[in-house]
Structure 1
């Protein structure tokens, strides 16, 4: 039973998952800082320009989706690794919404 190949493969898989988890936690920390920067810039833009920045609206939505994907992987809710192993999430904010919300 000591040399059970299935158990050894499962252990190796868990060790690899731990390594990915550490890397994605570090990525989470960077994305969190980036999110705070987007929020700050969007707020300043809104105060001084009187409108939201459409590019930041779309990027903020994509970043939020990335964080959601990372959280699902980190909590074992999904085995799908987020970006850069999957495409960067496309913004779900419709182009018309961008124009309406930016005005």
Structure 2
């Protein structure tokens, strides 16, 4: 083994990270079960009343942010430890929606060119019938 490998194997921070990886992998699994339960509850509430629970929407947003933090830690994208070592994340700000937004739908170019093709075919078939009459 090289000196770098020996140093990394003997490093306390490497083994501490392993303990946190195991703990956060377990919490990620628990969080996915909680997310599934929230999904079912929100669906049933929306089914019977027409709208979901606002408190669960807020918690669901912060749970999604927590899952993101856990995945970042587990995949070595971040050194910051999520909850319970770090603080519970806030729900990310939702983009502002305006009630008077206008949506314009344009016709795709392919459809426009396909509409022109039958018109040219009609002309050619008309020309063929004119030639056959002669």
Compute the TM-score of the two structures, normalised by the length of structure 2. Answer: 0.62
List per-residue Cα deviations over 1:45-94 (Å, max 9, x = no partner).
Answer: 00011111100110000000000000000000000000112111111246
- 1:21 matches 2:5: no
- Structure-1 separation of matches of 2:69 and 2:8: 28
- The answer to whether the Cα contact below 8 Å between 1:66 and 1:83 also exists between their aligned partners in 2 is yes
Q: Between Structure 1 and Structure 2, whose CA radius of gyration is higher?
A: 2
- The answer to whether the Cα contact below 8 Å between 1:61 and 1:93 also exists between their aligned partners in 2 is no
- 1:80 matches 2:84: no
**1:65 maps to which residue?**
65
**2:47 maps to which residue?**
47
Q: Which runs of 5+ in 2 are unaligned?
A: 98-134
Q: Which runs of 5+ in 1 are unaligned?
A: 98-103
Coordinate RMSD, CA, aligned: 2.5
The count of residues paired between Structure 1 and Structure 2 equals 93
Q: More relative contact order in 1 or in 2 (CA 8 Å, sep 6+)?
A: 1
